[in-house]
């Protein structure tokens, strides 16, 4: 009576263990396959144009003859739009997170957290639509522009997309700061604001940095909202209120018209490689920052 269940349990344990191993490996395998596919489809473009003139070229004429593939305008566009988005989303997001976990009453917190989750759940095309209808005319009239569809409008809308990520992950990090630190600070006669600024935010900075990095990831990868409100101009922007194109939106717009495995198709995949490398670099930097923080805080 006693031996059979034990044997079964062991068998079951082994099955579960194998499943867990499998699901771990499958993500790695899928990631690997995506990477291979991306490079296989994209790299052939470099037999037509060299990588330097691809990345630093300023002219994008994919269907003229001869075609020209310079993606610098889109790289600059992506960076500008992301920069604007972060400029808004970081102070607002970290501030909101500190407010939620340290200042708001528990009732208010319970009310606001679902609202932030709803914000995160709004489809990006809806945000794009809101930007198109509501924000673009405002931006246009404030800055006296010929069009409100530009980098600034796109950046503002994009900040709404990174905000929920930054708020919720920062809030987790801030809430996880041991209450002993706060008590020590208050007991030394620090005010709430001093405690937040000098103890709570530094102690939760690894989590806050992680939230910002994830926010950057979302901003760079976001396509639909930016496509709708960034204006789509193909030349290098010289001002944040210029219409511009970003990498993701350019790929989305052109992939349907590109002939399969033609030069334009390959160039678009190569833009995907560039995006991939940008996010990779962001992730590596965030890992380095986090490690440095942890070392400074004596947690390693």
Partner 1 sequence: MTSIAAKMRTESVSLFYGKNQALKQVTLSIPRNQITAIIGPSGCGKSSFLRLFNRMNDLIPQTKVEGQVYLEEQPIYNARIDVVELRKKVGMVFQKPNPFPMSVFDNVAYGPRVHGIKDRVHLEEIVERCLKQAALWDEVKDKLKTSALSLSGGQQQRLCIARVLAVEPEVILLDEPCSALDPISTMRIEDLMQELKKGYTLIIVTHNMQQAARASDFTAFLLAGELIEFGPTKELFTAPRDSRTEGYITGRWG
Residues near partner 1 (CB under 8 A): 106, 178, 180-191, 194, 198-199, 202-203, 296-299
| Minimum gap (Å) between residue 200 Cβ and partner 1 | 10
**Regarding beta strands 60-61 and 68-69, do their DSSP bridges make them parallel or antiparallel, or are they unpaired?**
antiparallel
**Six-digit token string for 288:** 């380095």
| Minimum gap (Å) between residue 190 Cβ and partner 1 | 4
Would you say how long the chain is, in residues? Answer: 300
Q: Which is closer to partner 1, CB of 33 or CB of 108?
A: 108
Q: How far apart are alpha carbons 152 and 9 in whole angstroms?
A: 60
Q: Which is closer to partner 1, CB of 21 or CB of 296?
A: 296
Peptide bond into 66 cis (omega under 30): yes
Q: How far apart are alpha carbons 75 and 56 in whole angstroms?
A: 9
Q: Which is closer to partner 1, CB of 100 or CB of 271?
A: 100
| Minimum gap (Å) between residue 175 Cβ and partner 1 | 15
Q: Which is closer to partner 1, CB of 205 or CB of 241?
A: 205
**Six-digit token string for 204:** 């939760």
**Six-digit token string for 185:** 């600070």
Q: Which is closer to partner 1, CB of 87 or CB of 190?
A: 190
| Minimum gap (Å) between residue 88 Cβ and partner 1 | 29
Best CA proximity match to 235, nearest among 225, 224, 243, 227: 243
| Minimum gap (Å) between residue 199 Cβ and partner 1 | 6
Q: How far apart are alpha carbons 253 and 273 in whole angstroms?
A: 17
| Minimum gap (Å) between residue 172 Cβ and partner 1 | 17
| Minimum gap (Å) between residue 103 Cβ and partner 1 | 13
Q: How far apart are alpha carbons 88 and 7 in whole angstroms?
A: 59
Q: How far apart are alpha carbons 89 and 248 in whole angstroms?
A: 20
Q: Which is closer to partner 1, CB of 157 or CB of 199?
A: 199
Could you please report the per-residue DSSP string of 207-246?
HHHHHHHHHHHHHHH--HHHHHHSB---SPPSSTTS-B--
Q: Which is closer to partner 1, CB of 200 or CB of 244?
A: 200
**Six-digit token string for 259:** 């002939």
What lies within 8 Å, CB to CB, of 276 at 6+ separation is 35, 38
């Amino acid at each position: 009576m006693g031996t059979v269940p034990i044997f079964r349990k062991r068998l079951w344990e082994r099955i579960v263990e194998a499943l867990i191993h499998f699901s771990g490996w499958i993500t790695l395998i899928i990631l690997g396959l995506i990477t291979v596919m991306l490079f296989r489809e994209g790299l052939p473009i470099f037999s037509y144009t060299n990588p330097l003139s691809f990345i630093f070229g300023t002219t994008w004429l994919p269907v003229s003859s001869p075609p020209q593939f310079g993606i610098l305008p889109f790289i600059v566009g992506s960076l500008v739009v992301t920069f604007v988005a972060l400029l808004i989303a970081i102070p607002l997001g970290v501030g909101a997170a500190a407010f939620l976990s340290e200042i708001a009453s528990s009732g208010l917190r319970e009310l606001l957290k679902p609202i932030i989750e709803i914000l995160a759940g709004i489809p990006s095309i809806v945000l794009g639509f809101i930007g198109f209808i509501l924000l673009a005319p405002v931006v246009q009239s404030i800055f006296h522009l010929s069009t409100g569809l530009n980098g600034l409008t796109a950046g503002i809308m994009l900040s709404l997309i990174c905000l929920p990520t930054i708020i919720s992950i920062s809030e987790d990090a801030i809430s996880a700061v041991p209450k002993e630190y706060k008590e020590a600070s208050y007991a030394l006669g620090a005010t709430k604001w001093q405690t937040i600024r000098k103890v709570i935010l530094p102690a939760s900075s690894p989590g806050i940095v992680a939230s910002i990095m994830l926010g950057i990831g979302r901003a760079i990868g976001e396509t639909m909202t930016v496509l709708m409100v960034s204006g789509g101009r193909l030349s290098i922007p010289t001002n944040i209120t210029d219409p511009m194109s970003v990498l993701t939106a350019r790929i989305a717009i052109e992939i349907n018209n590109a002939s399969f495995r033609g030069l334009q198709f390959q160039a678009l995949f190569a833009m995907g490689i560039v995006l991939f490398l940008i996010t990779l670099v962001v992730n590596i930097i965030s890992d380095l920052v986090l490690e440095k923080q942890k070392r400074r805080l004596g947690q390693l």
